[in-house]
Structure 1
Amino acid sequence: MRQPAMTAAEVKDYLIEVFPQTAHLFEIDEIAPMRARVRMLTGPEHLRPGGTVSGPTLFTLADCAFYVVTLAMIGRVALTVTTNCSINFMRKPAPGALVCEARILKLGKLLSVGDATIWSEGASEPAAHAALTYAIPPRRGENVG
């Protein structure tokens, strides 16, 4: 099985370098081949009326976790971008820590396809599930035609 190109610490350092405005929101708990676990601590700014974590916050976590696993596998390619995301909100997550398990189902030269599942920390059933596709830019000198 293909091994990650970057460790959790290397990905975190890279996120701080390329996204200093948001990198502090996320902790990378684990990187494994084609998988990552990312944690986000939510606060009052992430809540919607009724005291539940907002949909945009869940989307942000799913998107970031999939970016993390993709970078872990391909290395420092900052211009890797989301091209598709479909998210299902299944349960109201409790305020506090959220955990996202992201996995790549197919990794090609130009696309990373997979999913991300989010739980409130300690919950047994997921709060949300997303299917994601990322575009990977061609590397310099690589003929994609």
Structure 2
Amino acid sequence: MRDIVMDGPALEAFCKEAFPQVHQDFAVEEVAPMRVRVRLKVAERHLRPGGTVSGPSMFALADVAVYFALLAMIGPKALAVTTNCSMDFMRKPAAHADLIAETRLLKLGRALAVGDVLIFSAGMEAPVARATMTYSIPPDRPAAAPAATP
């Protein structure tokens, strides 16, 4: 089994640097080999009419959680990108409650990673959503060769 390369504080610092527009929304609660738990700190901007957390906010949590699980194992690769997502919304989250993503990587290869996410609403036992996501991992680029001198 691979070792963890980035812990919670390192993941949050990377997110703050690479994604300043959303870093304040997420907190890494736990990092283990091939697993993370991430909290969406629900604010008014995450709600839809009726006071429940919106689908796009739940998608963002699932996406960030798999991204963090991946980076925890391979290190900071800003250009790792989502290539596929399947998401099921199963029940309405509690009004104004934070969401918690329990995430595990099912596959971690050289070029692709697949993760599974269960999203829970704080205070509720049953999951409110589940997602499976595939990420493309950018190849390590060799250092450029020095230019030939004429």
Tell me which interval the TM-score lies in, with the shorter structure as reference length: over 0.9
Q: Name the amino acid aligned to 2:99.
A: L
Larger of the two Rg values belongs to structure: 2
Are 1:34 and 2:34 matched, yes or no? yes
Q: Deviations over 1:69-102 (max 9, x none)?
A: 1111110111000000110000100122110011
Paired with 1:44 and 1:140, the residues of 2 have a C-alpha distance of 42
Q: How does 1:94-133 map to 2 (within 5 A)?
A: 94=94, 95-133=96-134
Q: Which amino acid aligns with 1:77?
A: K
**Displacement, 1:118?**
0.4
Residues paired across the two proteins, number: 142
Provide the residue aligned with 1:57 in structure 2: 57
In 1, Cα distance between equivalents of 2:123 and 2:87: 21
* Alpha-carbon separation, structure 2, partners of 1:9 and 1:106: 24
Post-superposition CA distance 1:84-125 (Å, at most 9, x none): 011000010012211001110010010010111100012110
CA–CA distance in 2 between the matches of 1:25 and 1:51? 18
Q: Which amino acid in 2 is paired with 1:120?
A: S
CA distance in 2, matches of 1:43, 1:11: 21
Task: Determine if the alignment matches structure 1 residue 134 to structure 2 residue 135.
Answer: yes
1:5 and 2:5 matched: yes
Superposition CA RMSD, Å = 1.2
Stretches of structure 2 lacking an aligned partner (at least 5 in a row): 144-150
Unaligned runs of 5+ in 1: none
Residue 141 of structure 1 and its aligned partner are, at CA, apart by: 2.9
Structure 1 segments (4+ residues) deviating >4 Å: none
